[in-house]
Structure 1
Amino acid sequence: MRCALFTATLFLLSTTLCVAQKGFPEPGKIDKADLQMTDCDFDKGAEAVKLIDWGKVTYAYILRNLSGFGTVYERRVRIKVLKEKGLSKANVVIPYMSYSDYEEITKMEAWTYNLDDAGNVKTTKVSKSSIYKKSINAGISEMIIAFPEVKVGSVIEYAYTMERGPALHINDWNFQDNIPVKYSEYEVSIPSFLHFKVNPMVTDPMQTRSEEARGAGELNPSTGVRETTIKKFYSMQNLVALRDEPYMGSMNDYRQRIEFLLTQVEVYNNDIVDLQTSWTQVVEGLKKSEYFGQQLEKQLPRTIDLFEQWKAIPDPLARMKTVFQYVKEHMTWDDQETIVSYDGVEKAYAAKTGNSADINLLLINFLNQVKVKADPILFSTRKNGLVNTMYPGMDQFNMVMAHVAIGNRYYILDATDKSGSHLLIPEEVVNTNGFLVQGESGKWLEVLDDKNKYKIFSAVHAEIDMNGKMTGEVTVNSSGYSKKERCKAWAKNKDEFKKQYFMQGAVPISLEELEVNNVYADSLPLEQKAKFSSVLNRSGEYTYFPVNLFAGLDKNPFIAEKRVSDIEYGFLQDFILVGNYNIPDGYSFDALPENISLLMPDKSIVFNRFINASGNVLNVRMTLEFKNSYYPVADYPEFREYYKKLSAALDEQIIMKKK
């Protein structure tokens, strides 16, 4: 192959760690003006700003483990800390694939810059003992940097070299980050025998330029000429931060970035090999893989009696539920999302812990062993980002789950989630697409659910005394995804559960009793019964009390005038709030809110409020239905205006006055 003619010259060039890039101060040196900066001039109020974000990719022979042709990736980042919140940017963690030494960070340097009391620049180089590696699992490790003397006003900088091999592909590059970026540049040196499709995903101006350089190696015997390398430079500047927004999907889908897809390689005699794979090839590779398909065939020790016990369950659905429950209870997830079982299901089963692939491939293995047909289904979760179905590749996915078809319906099972139910598609992937590894070619599957909703029913009975104190009882029934959310919160921290769901709102609430039922009953709503009290707001002879209680609707998350991302709830939603309020003799209700109906123009959100007073008793019923799980950003002005009216209607208080 022509690849074999690439020479050690490129290797030597690529291992020089971040020499001073044109127009940049050298690593370890800084302009005093950067330390005197107190705000970002193009994104006011930012907690920190990236002054420099520079990357470079070259191709070379990776000699450390005889892995052959690969890439050398250089990175340099310099960050100015502007506010207390920005101090978290000094917690630098660089993940890499350490399995079989596929990736290795070969060089690393870091510095902290400050101004001393006399106004002089003080540079502190991070010691080698403060830069260390941490193994996460058999496949992933992290390089961690502990920066010294970091405070508001500091600048931190780190630079490293990472070798990857064998490898031909080029990392994508994110120009934009969750803090503003003053200057970002990506330099790629591509040998002429590699053909890439380059896809800029940008809205702001991006500068590009190219240089052609002759290789310094041997002659190509098939052409009689030396290889050439095309250097391409991509840069952007003054990029405002991409900040997290309420009900945002994946930030990765909205970053300004550039993507690289290797499409062809020229080989001997100028023949061209097409590298664009198909989903059929992806399925074939997965089934043959030691870290995926082979794990589904593993015969685990000490499971024969267990399998025989499960096989004796006549109903396939009951059998599936039993196996699912067993794996959830037996295994503990290590919080690593992946489709690769690095250590294998046997080792994970023995240790009772593993990554998402270990656990869910084990589940699929067990289900098939007891004659419940199960197949792997691959997902990119909502937070991981969208999959480009036009470019087949396993690296787009971050989760594998079990797909089971019984009768006329299917189930998506994720045994990493101990609160998961077979009745609910996991919330991270519901109403998205999954790739089902089934048959020779696999297929894309829309995992939709318009029956199970995020549903809350709240019933309040309360009395208000003449001193403005409300006391009462509430029953909240949470169904579907609301139950799933609350069961997780209840299991994690019961005190925080009480604060989050019963002690927040328009008035301070004291919780006196709380009883929670049906946590483990899949087919029943989560029942929460509480006794509460609250001291209400008063002004002269008037007392005010809210009726929007215990449903989590007391805040408007959509107050920002502009938004860059779609609104992704993930599921449909239903809220029903009923209330019965008694006031003391000698008092009356003053100017009750009107009965109203609010509809989005497309009728995708419907709100109704009915209020009726009879003597000293007030009855309230409010219903809110979201008929869509997704609202595009193009409709945000309309959505925001509707939500403003909705919040005003929900928060309108009842006025009690003395006769």
Structure 2
Amino acid sequence: MTKFTTALILLLNLYCFAQENYYPYSFNVKPEDVKAEAFSKDSTANALIIYERGNSYVDNEDFELKTEIECKLKILNREGFDEATIVIPLYKNKDNSQKVFNIVASTHNIISGDKIEETTLSKKDIHNEEYNENYNLVKFTLPNIKEGSVITYSYKITSPFMFNYKGWNFQGDIPKLYSEYNTSVPANWQYHIKLIGGKKLMTNESKIAKHCLTTFNGGVADCTISKYAMKDIPAFIEEDYMTSKHNYLARIEYELKSFKNFTGAVNHYTKSWDDVDDELKKEKSVGRQILKSIDAKEFLPETIINETDILKKAKAIYFFVQENYTWDGKYSIYNDELSVKELIKNKSGNVSSINILLHNLLDASGIEVKPIIMSTRENGFATKEIPVISDFNYLTVQAIVDNNTYFLDATERYLTFGEIPFRCLNGYARLLDFKSGSSWIDINPIRTTYTMYNTELNFDDEKNLIGEVKRKSSGYHALYSKERYFPNKNSYVDELSNSLPNTEISDYNLISEDKTSDNFYETYNIQYKTEQIGDNIYLNPFFDKFTSENPFKLQERTYPVDFGYRTNYMYSFKINLGDKYTLLEKPQDTNLSLPSNSGQLIFTSELVDNSINLILKFNLKSPAYPPEFYPYLKEIFNKLVDIQQNSIFVLKSNS
């Protein structure tokens, strides 16, 4: 029987392997590609790329950059049908644009045995769309798509923009069996070449081809011929607590350093930060506005002008700008020349204009202040190796008061002094100093983010628990509560009540009424209906939960877990049993730590003077954790959810 079982398992494994006998190193479609029914390496995949290849080179006739693309893609199920719609973005500016040619696409289905039916895309089904001022889109959807179909498509892009050499994404939203990129780069163009995403290349080859590029007047150039390839590339799956996925996708990028024409003249495109600082200083919409003199008396009330305490004065100026000028939701470090004037006139402007006004008012009031340019979390990390100004999309302010450093942003109504929006918590930024030169700085919140619950309850005559809840939060936990509370107080209380099952809320009171307060401190009374079975009461004391489910569900995560800030959570709970009840059973205590003591979960409960005292503490001491911490974070969050959902105290009635 054992031998039979072993043989059966072997046959099943061989069968599954046969069902996945893909041909990943060829654009040609084989019967096995179409017959395959699954992808065992990722059972959640709805589609996968079997083979893709790119080839970029400079054309000898028109000196434009040409890129040829080939792709063979498998549709595994109906959820993968969207992958049969192909979108080709084409960059453009006022003078020129990329163009696409020779689009050829087909759908391949098995009709009997090994016979493949091929359905070709009609040219009338290729559509052009003006997407925005920087891009046009070419779209087409493959015909006759079924579960199991294999689609192939190829096309050629021609580009006049040699400053923007075609990059290559090895990784995408679906898995890939094989991805290859070939390049030919003439020696006239020098690029910074970056491999991003941390995945290893299976092929990384380069050689020199002599005289690959020639001109009509006899000029010649050698070329660097390169081949890059990866295999078995997993899909990139986004999950909570991450910055832009652009930071982590496995890909190759090119940044133009210099161009040397055939006369020997050299244009340098990569500059030093000294050069960039000088350009920004002279730029009419950045440096010239930042350095512009302003009379604070024309803007600020006398109470602020006459304030002698520097910190109080800085806070008053910040709150004045925050209250009187509205952010229009637009990001940019650049403005037109009259942007601050327009802000003053219209009381509304983009992030740069508001924070430049804040900068100038602080500076005019004798407070040490400098501008900061940064990239937001959704925009991705700014390149550190070389200055790339297009990486930056946001401008904030640094103020130094009594040797303490504060990051300031006046765009949001509920931010407190020294707090910047969550979108700005992206690790680092560039501090502009037009006298001493700019420098990289770390962006870390100065305040601890925490939430503390303190609850003391008693039993009433109906065997319900009654008492008061005190809830205090600070930092970003307080900010999120303020953003929900102040626009609609009644809605906030209703939402709170609806989130607490079997619980009635009364006498809600907000202690910290200031919408820019450091803290959010609220109290309310509750009546909780207990669950009674026979003579026993079964009680879960976690009416309000820090998190109701584990946000981490992947088997493996290859990019960091980025919370943005350090956090603390404490739940303190006391139930007075008096002489009416006896504790029969309580949950097990827990003490769980992350590696390097970078986080901790503690849950304890005890009976003291016939009162149940319970404490849950959870803290994350780092704003971000590397991928190798993922299993431990997943485990500690699993335990946190389990404690809150399944911690049951069993009480026996003494009457």
**What range describes the TM-score normalised by the shorter chain of this pair?**
0.7 to 0.9
Counterpart of 1:195 in structure 2 is 190
- Distance 1:577-1:421 versus aligned 2 partners, 3 A rule: same
Counterpart of 1:407 in structure 2 is 402
The offset of 1:377, in angstroms, is 0.9
Q: Distance in 2 between matches of 1:351 and 1:184?
A: 52
- Distance 1:438-1:502 versus aligned 2 partners, 3 A rule: farther
Residue-pair matches, total: 621
Matched-pair contact (CA < 8 Å) for 2:204–2:228? yes
The offset of 1:433, in angstroms, is 2.2
Q: Is 2:309 the partner of 1:312?
A: no
Q: Distance in 1 between matches of 2:373 and 2:585?
A: 56
Q: Which moved more, 1:31-40 or 1:601-610?
A: 31-40
Q: Percent identity?
A: 22
The one-letter code of the counterpart of 2:480 is: E
The offset of 1:306, in angstroms, is 3.2
Equivalent of 1:488 in 469, 483, 486? 483
Counterpart of 1:527 in structure 2 is 521
Q: Which runs of 5+ in 1 are unaligned?
A: 1-21, 64-68
Question: CA RMSD for the aligned pairs?
Answer: 5.0
Q: Is 2:598 the partner of 1:604?
A: yes
- Distance 1:502-1:229 versus aligned 2 partners, 3 A rule: farther
Equivalent of 1:393 in 388, 392, 397? 388
Counterpart of 1:243 in structure 2 is 237
CA displacement 1:195-244 (0-9 Å, x = unmatched): 33434345344334568485564356xxx553344443323233111222
1:361-380 superposed matches below 5 A: 361-365=356-360, 367-368=362-363, 374-380=369-375
The offset of 1:437, in angstroms, is 1.1
Q: Distance in 1 between matches of 2:589 and 2:168?
A: 53
The one-letter code of the counterpart of 1:564 is: T
- Distance 1:176-1:497 versus aligned 2 partners, 3 A rule: farther
- Distance 1:208-1:431 versus aligned 2 partners, 3 A rule: closer
The offset of 1:424, in angstroms, is 1.8
The offset of 1:559, in angstroms, is 5.8
Q: Distance in 1 between matches of 2:151 and 2:337?
A: 37
1:53-452 superposed matches below 5 A: 55-59=54-58, 71=65, 100=94, 131-135=128-132, 143=137, 153=147, 167-201=162-196, 202-208=198-204, 212=209, 214-215=211-212, 217-218=214-215, 226-267=220-261, 276-296=270-290, 305-306=298-299, 312=305, 314=307, 317=311, 320-325=314-319, 327-329=321-323, 333=327, 335-341=329-335, 345=339, 349=343, 355-365=350-360, 367-368=362-363, 374-430=369-425, 432-440=427-435, 441-449=437-445, 451-452=446-447
Matched-pair contact (CA < 8 Å) for 2:128–2:136? no
Q: Distance in 2 between matches of 1:493 and 1:108?
A: 57
The offset of 1:129, in angstroms, is 9.9
Matched-pair contact (CA < 8 Å) for 2:506–2:525? yes
Counterpart of 2:43 in structure 1 is 44
- Distance 1:423-1:226 versus aligned 2 partners, 3 A rule: closer
Matched-pair contact (CA < 8 Å) for 1:368–1:374? yes
Matched-pair contact (CA < 8 Å) for 2:458–2:575? yes
SS of the residue 1:438 aligns to: coil
Q: Which moved more, 1:291-300 or 1:475-484?
A: 291-300
Matched-pair contact (CA < 8 Å) for 1:307–1:370? no
1:7-22 superposed matches below 5 A: none
The offset of 1:578, in angstroms, is 1.6
Q: Which moved more, 1:139-148 or 1:244-253?
A: 139-148
Q: Distance in 2 between matches of 1:231 and 1:534?
A: 73
Matched-pair contact (CA < 8 Å) for 1:320–1:367? yes
Q: Distance in 2 between matches of 1:150 and 1:294?
A: 59
- Distance 1:116-1:501 versus aligned 2 partners, 3 A rule: farther
CA displacement 1:114-152 (0-9 Å, x = unmatched): 9899997766769789643244xxx75674859699998
Q: Distance in 1 between matches of 2:520 and 2:117?
A: 62
Q: Distance in 1 between matches of 2:349 and 2:329?
A: 9
Q: Distance in 1 between matches of 2:617 and 2:110?
A: 61
- Distance 1:120-1:151 versus aligned 2 partners, 3 A rule: closer
Equivalent of 2:619 in 614, 620, 625? 625
Q: Distance in 1 between matches of 2:483 and 2:79?
A: 28
The offset of 1:309, in angstroms, is 6.8
- Distance 1:83-1:380 versus aligned 2 partners, 3 A rule: farther
- Distance 1:609-1:100 versus aligned 2 partners, 3 A rule: same
SS of the residue 1:227 aligns to: strand
Matched-pair contact (CA < 8 Å) for 2:414–2:482? yes
The one-letter code of the counterpart of 2:400 is: A
CA displacement 1:481-529 (0-9 Å, x = unmatched): 2112222344688899679866558x67666775556364434421334
Q: Distance in 1 between matches of 2:325 and 2:65?
A: 38
Matched-pair contact (CA < 8 Å) for 1:112–1:150? no
The one-letter code of the counterpart of 2:42 is: D
Q: Distance in 2 between matches of 1:95 and 1:167?
A: 17
Matched-pair contact (CA < 8 Å) for 1:503–1:510? no
Q: Distance in 1 between matches of 2:460 and 2:86?
A: 56
Q: Distance in 2 between matches of 1:468 and 1:121?
A: 73
Q: Distance in 2 between matches of 1:416 and 1:76?
A: 46
- Distance 1:622-1:443 versus aligned 2 partners, 3 A rule: same
Matched-pair contact (CA < 8 Å) for 1:476–1:550? no
Q: Distance in 1 between matches of 2:363 and 2:577?
A: 62
The offset of 1:457, in angstroms, is 1.2
Counterpart of 1:5 in structure 2 is none
1:531-570 superposed matches below 5 A: 531-532=525-526, 541-558=535-552, 560=554, 562-570=556-564
SS of the residue 1:284 aligns to: helix
- Distance 1:303-1:525 versus aligned 2 partners, 3 A rule: closer
Q: Distance in 2 between matches of 1:419 and 1:50?
A: 46
The offset of 1:436, in angstroms, is 0.6
Q: Distance in 2 between matches of 1:150 and 1:491?
A: 54
SS of the residue 2:422 aligns to: coil
Counterpart of 2:20 in structure 1 is none
Q: Distance in 2 between matches of 1:343 and 1:444?
A: 27
CA displacement 1:248-281 (0-9 Å, x = unmatched): 3443333222233444544557687765532212
Matched-pair contact (CA < 8 Å) for 1:95–1:140? no
Q: Distance in 2 between matches of 1:115 and 1:343?
A: 60
The offset of 1:611, in angstroms, is 2.7
Q: Distance in 2 between matches of 1:470 and 1:648?
A: 23
Q: Distance in 2 between matches of 1:359 and 1:129?
A: 45
- Distance 1:645-1:244 versus aligned 2 partners, 3 A rule: same
Equivalent of 1:24 in 27, 31, 53? 27
Matched-pair contact (CA < 8 Å) for 1:501–1:551? no
Matched-pair contact (CA < 8 Å) for 2:475–2:518? no
Q: Which moved more, 1:340-349 or 1:437-446?
A: 340-349
The offset of 1:453, in angstroms, is 1.3
- Distance 1:594-1:109 versus aligned 2 partners, 3 A rule: same
Equivalent of 2:585 in 585, 591, 594? 591
SS of the residue 1:46 aligns to: coil
SS of the residue 1:452 aligns to: coil
Q: Distance in 2 between matches of 1:502 and 1:259?
A: 51
The offset of 1:314, in angstroms, is 3.7
Give the TM-score normalised by the residue count of structure 2.
0.75
Q: Is 2:655 the partner of 1:656?
A: no
- Distance 1:243-1:579 versus aligned 2 partners, 3 A rule: same
